[in-house]
């Protein structure tokens, strides 16, 4: 069987149209990503995930950004509301943060798995500081290497135990970003030695199956955004040691120059395995489909290794997990 194409695509609404079905059958994306525009009721969402897979004729991975807090595509009344991650680890305290993040990941995974979503764009391994841009700061898990690494490892473990693959982001670190990369390009002037702190959590998570790049320029490494920088991608592979499947952050974000085809080609040439395209614009997706070929042999190998880690959820008592998490966040589990 031929390798699927080296991109992840989205669709426009909560139902797959006939035109989208035909397009995806021809374009054969590696996977799909969903947003709030695609989410209505659980039954409707289950139908959408099934239809997307039927379009490509395989159990294609379906991604979502369900970090919890501000970045939460599944919301009440059908799904739980979540504190921002940084607020949760603060509420749980040093003694409860790690366990609380495991339970967060496990409960989120249960909700995702029930509607056919098997990849979550979490955990975050970016380190927050006082000047981290507000679009990112409370999405982070801590302000030190140790706190971020332990919380991110726990979140990833909860997702995996729930049958959902984690995507660690934003490699090699977005915490020093002072602007919102959805709107502009962050430029980091820190020295190479200073950046080692940012890299450290990702080094500790290098065994995770999937990763996402940062649309950030690190002046000490290159003048190009990490997503499009061969030196930075080489650093991710060699210095950080990440050998999982590496996707771009959303290629349609305004941090990058050029059209989506130019952006995507630059990312693949730099060493990314996959282009992530999120807005569901049919013209942009058609342009990518006309310009981007299948996964490379090395990317296909990484993809197969990543998908081999999809498994059935480990049994859990959901009510007991909710109660334990509630107690941790009230300070009753910190001893």
Determine, yes or no, domain membership for 333.
no
Q: How confident is the prediction for the chain on average, in pLDDT?
A: 95
**Would 316 be classed as within a structural domain?**
no
- CB atoms closer than 10 angstroms to residue 189: 10
Span 265-286, pLDDT tens digits: 999 999 999 999 999 999 999 9
- The predicted model scores a pTM of 0.95
Residue 205 is assigned to a structural domain of this protein: yes
| Domain-located, residue 82 | yes
Domain count, the chain: 1
Would residue 143 count as lying in a domain?
yes
Predicted confidence at residue 111, as pLDDT, reads 98
Q: Give the separation between CA 105 and CA 101, rounded to whole angstroms.
A: 6
Each residue's pLDDT tens digit, 126-181: 999 988 888 888 999 999 999 999 999 999 999 999 999 999 999 999 889 887 77
Provide the pLDDT confidence category of residue 39 given band limits of 50, 70 and 90: very high
In a domain, 93, yes or no: yes
pLDDT value, residue 179 = 72
pLDDT of 296 higher than 90 = yes
Please report whether residue 322 resides in a domain.
no
Whether 16 is in a domain gets the answer yes
> How many Cα atoms sit within 13 Å of 74 on the Cβ side?
27
Name the 3-class secondary structure at 182. Answer: coil
Alpha-carbon 280 to chain mean position: 17
Q: Which residues are annotated as catalytic?
A: 182, 249
Domain coverage including residue 134: 5-309
Query: Other C-beta atoms within 10 Å of 1: how many?
Result: 5
CATH number, domain at 177?
Answer: 3.20.20.300
């Amino acid at each position: 069987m031929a390798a699927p194409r080296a991109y992840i695509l989205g669709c426009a609404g909560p139902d797959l149209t006939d035109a989208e079905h035909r397009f995806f059958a021809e374009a054969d994306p590696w996977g799909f990503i969903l947003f709030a525009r695609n989410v209505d009721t659980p039954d409707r969402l289950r139908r959408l995930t099934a239809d997307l897979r039927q379009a490509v004729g395989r159990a294609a991975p379906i991604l979502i950004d369900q970090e919890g807090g501000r970045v939460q595509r599944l919301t009440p009344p059908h799904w739980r509301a979540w504190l921002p991650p940084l607020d949760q680890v603060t509420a749980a305290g040093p003694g409860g943060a790690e366990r609380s993040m495991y339970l967060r990941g496990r409960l989120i995974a249960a909700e995702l798995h029930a509607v056919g979503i098997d990849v979550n764009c979490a955990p975050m391994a970016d380190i927050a500081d006082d000047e981290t841009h507000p679009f990112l700061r409370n999405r982070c898990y801590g302000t030190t290497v140790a706190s971020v690494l332990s919380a991110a490892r726990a979140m990833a473990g909860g997702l995996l135990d729930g049958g959902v693959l984690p995507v660690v982001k934003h490699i090699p670190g977005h915490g020093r970003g002072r602007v919102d990369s959805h709107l502009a390009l962050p430029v980091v002037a820190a020295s190479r030695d200073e950046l080692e702190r940012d890299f450290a959590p990702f080094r500790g998570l290098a065994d995770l199956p999937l990763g996402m790049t940062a649309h950030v320029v690190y002046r000490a490494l290159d003048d190009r955004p990490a997503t499009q920088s061969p030196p930075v991608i080489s650093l991710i592979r060699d210095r950080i040691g990440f050998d999982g499947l590496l996707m771009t952050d959303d290629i349609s974000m305004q941090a990058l120059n050029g059209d989506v085809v130019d952006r995507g080609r630059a990312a693949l040439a730099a060493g990314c395995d996959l282009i992530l395209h999120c807005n569901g614009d049919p013209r942009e997706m058609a342009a990518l489909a006309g310009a981007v070929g299948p996964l490379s042999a090395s990317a296909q190998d990484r993809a197969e290794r990543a998908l081999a880690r999809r498994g059935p959820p480990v049994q859990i008592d959901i009510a007991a997990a909710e109660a334990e998490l509630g107690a941790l966040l009230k300070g009753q589990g910190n001893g």
